[in-house]
Amino acid sequence: MSKWRNPKYLTEIDNVARYVEFVESSGKPNSVSYSGAVGLMGIKPSTAMGAGYDVSPLRPAELYDPVKNHNFGKEYLSGLLTKYKGNVPDALLAYSWGGTNVDKWIAGGRTGSIPADKQAYIDGWAGKGSHAKEYKKANAEGWKPYLERSRTPAKPDPEAAATLESLYSVGPSGQTKGAKEAVMREQNWQKANEFFDKP
């Protein structure tokens, strides 16, 4: 077994993955956030191509496959939970903010500031703030993760997948072609959702 698959976190990971899916996409497999995170588990293409923790990489277009997206996110969370010794807030913070940022924050005695949206992310898990309120309400109304609701998961939209793939394709120089972030940056996030987030 990989050192990043600690069996004692197997029960925890299901609950954590459920929360992440709700916060990242509300269970919409074609979701795209303002920062360019894609699919059920809100995974950025750059993360998909090299998350580490023995997680098999995905091509950007594969992020629209709900099964692959879910499995990748869950494996990535498993690695983070192992790295942070079962500390769910630290693992969630690393998932949302990046492990390098979290490691620096921990090394600094956990005294530095955390971006407000990242703080809200971990507060929600702790039962505080808007994420917690929305998650509690959704659960009370019977919300279920996408793969529990759909016996036949939707197939990736070929146009959206091809466009995402082209934004992150690598040219002969080894550089990513095009303005890969431009379509999905904050000022254009609504346009990105109109294009990508198809029913």
Q: What is 35-48 written as a DSSP string?
A: T--BTTTTB-HHHH
Q: Six-digit token pair at 19?
A: 């929360």
Across the chain, mean pLDDT equals 79
- pLDDT at residue 162 tops 80: no
- Cα torsion 25, 31, 37, 38 to 10°: value is 110
DSSP one-letter string for 46-75: HHHT---TTPPP--GGGGGSHHHHHHHHHH
Q: What DSSP designation does 176 have?
A: B
- Cα→Cα distances 169→95, 151, 173, Å: 24, 32, 11
- What is the spatial distance between Cα 49 and Cα 40, in angstroms, rounded to a whole number? 17
- The matching CATH number, chosen from 1.10.530, 1.10.10, 1.10.1760, 3.40.50, for 7-196 is 1.10.530
Q: Six-digit token pair at 192?
A: 């990105």
Which pLDDT does position 169 carry in this prediction? 56
Which pLDDT does position 193 carry in this prediction? 45
Q: Which of 69, 66, 94 is nearest to 4 (CA)?
A: 94
- pLDDT at residue 97 tops 80: yes
The residue among 127 and 149 whose pLDDT is bigger is 127
What percentage of the chain reaches a pLDDT higher than 90? 43
Give the mean model confidence (pLDDT) for residues 156-181. 54
- Cα→Cα distances 178→119, 129, 166, Å: 32, 38, 8
Q: Which of 105, 117, 133 is nearest to 34 (CA)?
A: 117
Which pLDDT does position 8 carry in this prediction? 73
Q: State the catalytic residue, choosing from 24, 62, 134, 194.
A: 24
- What is the spatial distance between Cα 171 and Cα 28, in angstroms, rounded to a whole number? 31
The residue among 42 and 2 whose pLDDT is bigger is 42
156: confidence class by pLDDT, cuts 50, 70, 90: low
Give the mean model confidence (pLDDT) for residues 37-58. 88
Q: Which of 54, 42, 45 is nearest to 17 (CA)?
A: 42
Do residues 41 and 73 make contact, with C-beta atoms less than 8 angstroms apart? yes
- pLDDT at residue 52 tops 90: no
- pLDDT at residue 51 tops 90: no
Is 24 known to be catalytic?
Answer: yes
